[in-house]
Amino acid sequence: MKTKDISVIVNGEEVRASVPVRRNLVDFLRTDAGLTGSHVGCEHGVCGACTVEVNGATVRGCLMLAVQADGATVTTVEGFAASGRSAALAAAFTRRNALQCGFCTPGMLASALGYIDRGGTADRAAIREHISGNYCRCTGYQSIVEAICDVIEERTAP
């Protein structure tokens, strides 16, 4: 197996590892960095469970190689929680019961942050469209939409 040494800033901490070049980013995060919050759902970029932030933009962790993240800054659900970036969303998700099994939740939070932090409005249809790349089999999506709306409305309240 071919390997390569990489260094990635994950949730503010440098992670150095010698990784198989074929290892994708989410597997690197889960196995090499020990951060199992990002989930593997389909490994072909459809379900969104592995969505993380790389250099400030949400990406699919299964559609990027770990070696491509060499030198990059990656933030996962654990990082969002530790920094407080996802605190308002987490509170709203809890209040609205916007998660059941919780497997989609880390990716859903990453996508929701991608929407909110880029100035997304509390427009239910727009929110639904934005999270339409994140599969949830448990909820009917409605509670997730409501939770995201809540956070945007809280932020924009006078």
Partner 1 sequence: MTGPATIFDRPNRYIGQPTPRADAARLLAGRGRFVDDIQLPRMVHAAFHRSPHAHARIVSVDVTAARAASGVLGVWTGAEMAALVTPYVGVLTHMAGLRSAPQHPLAVDVARWQGEPLVMIVARSRAEAEDAAELVEVDYEELPPACDATTALAKDAAVIHADFGSNLAWERKVDVGDIDAAFAQPGVQIVEREFRFGRHTGVTLESRGTVCEFDPSEGCLTMHYSGQAPHMMQVILSRLMSLPEENVRVISNDVGGSFGIKIHTYGDELAAAVAARALGRPVKFVADRMESFLTDIHARDHVVKARMGVTASGTIVGIDMHDLTGIGPFSMYPRTSAIECNQVLNLTGAPYTMQHYRAHGQVVFQNKNLMCQYRAVGHPIAMAVADGLLEDAARVIGMDPVELRRRNLMADDSYPRSSTAGMKLDDLSHQAALKKLCEIMDYDGLRAEQARLREQGIFRGIGFVSMVEVTNPSPMFYGIGGAPIASQDGATVRLDAGGALHVSSSITEQGQGTNGILAQIAAGVFGVDIDRVKVTTGDTGTVPYGGGTWASRGAGIGGEAMLLAAQALKEQVLDVAAVMLQSEPGLLDIRGGAVVDAATGAERMGLADLARTVYYRGNELPSDLKPELIATRHYRVTDFPFVFTNGAMAAHVEVDPETGFVKVLHFWAVEDCGRVINPMLVDEQVRGGVVQGIGGALYEECLYSDDGQLLNATMADYMVPMAAEMPEITVAHIETPTKTSFLGAKGAGEAGTGGAPAAILNAVNDALQPMGATIWQMPMTPERILKVLGKV
Partner 2 sequence: MKAADFDYLRPSSLAEALTCLSQNVGVAQPLAGGQSLMPMMNFRVATPEVLIDLADIPDLRGVTELDGMLRIGAMTTYRDLTRITDRVPLLGLALPHIAHDAIRNRGTIGGSVALADPAAEMPALLLALGGVIELAGPDGQREVAADDFFQGYYATDRAEDELIVAIRLAVAKPGDSFGFYELTQRHGDYALAGVAIAHAPDLRIAFFGISDRPIRLPELEAALTAGTDPGPALDQIEFEGDLKASAATRRHYARVVLDRALAGMTS
Q: Contact positions toward partner 1, by CB under 8 A? A: 1, 20, 22-23, 30-31, 34-44, 46-47, 49, 76-78, 80-81, 86, 89-90, 93-97, 99-106, 109, 124-125, 127-129, 131-145
Contacts of 21 (CB under 8 A, 6+ apart): 2, 3, 4, 65, 67
Distance CA 132, CA 111 (A): 10
- HSE-up of residue 1 (Cα within 13 Å, Cβ side): 8
Question: How near is the Cβ of 158 to partner 1 at its closest, in Å?
Answer: 27
Q: What six digits make up the tokens of 54? A: 């790389």
The 8 Å CB, 24+ separation contacts for 80-85 are: 80/109, 80/110, 80/113, 82/11, 83/11, 83/12, 85/113
Q: Is 140 in the site for partner 2 (CB under 8 A)?
A: no
Pick the stretch among 85-93, 96-104, 109-117, 143-151 that binds partner 2 (CB under 8 A). 109-117
Stretches 50-58, 76-84, 87-95, 98-106: which one binds partner 2 (CB under 8 A)?
A: 50-58
Sheet with strand 73-75: strands edge to edge: 13-20, 3-10, 73-75, 51-54, 57-60
- Pick from 10, 35, 64, 89 the residue near partner 2 by CB under 8 A: 64
Which listed option, partner 1, partner 2, none, makes contact with residue 59 (CB within 5 to 8 Å by class)? partner 2
What character string, x for contact with partner 2 (CB under 8 A) and - otherwise, covers 120-139? ---------xx-xxx-----
Pairing assessment for the beta strands 73-75 and 13-20 based on DSSP bridges:
unpaired
Whose structure tokens read 């010698």? Answer: 18
Task: Using CB under 8 A, list all residues that contact partner 2.
Answer: 1-2, 4, 20-22, 24, 27, 43-45, 48, 51, 57-60, 62-65, 67-68, 110-111, 114-115, 129-130, 132-134
